[in-house]
Amino acid sequence: MLRRYDFKCITCGYIEEQWVDSEDEFTTCLECGHTAQRIISSVSSHFKGTGWPGADDAWAKDHERAAKV
């Protein structure tokens, strides 16, 4: 099974995305040919629905406004 990993070259700092079928921590940099190490990249996520601070705060503010009317 192919997995997507990000690799950063130890020499030139080039960051690349590769689909690999192994758990190897190192690969060859496509820019300079030196060693590139697998890095952990940040992931963007957005939780929707009730139970999350942003959703509950909006719900509470709407109900406070309605109660004042």
17-68 per-position pLDDT tens digit:
988 888 888 888 989 999 999 998 777 777 776 666 665 666 677 777 777 7
| Residue 54, pLDDT score | 61
Please choose, from the candidates 51, 14, 10, 54, the residue with its C-alpha nearest in 3D space to the C-alpha of residue 31: 14
- Provide the number of structural domains found in the chain: 1
- At 38 the pLDDT is 92
Whether residue 10 lies inside any domain: the answer is: yes
- Res 64: pLDDT: 76
CATH of the domain at 35: 2.20.28
pLDDT over threshold 90, residue 12 = yes
CA distance 21 to 65: 55
* Domain carrying residue 23: 1-41
Place of tokens 């996520």: 45
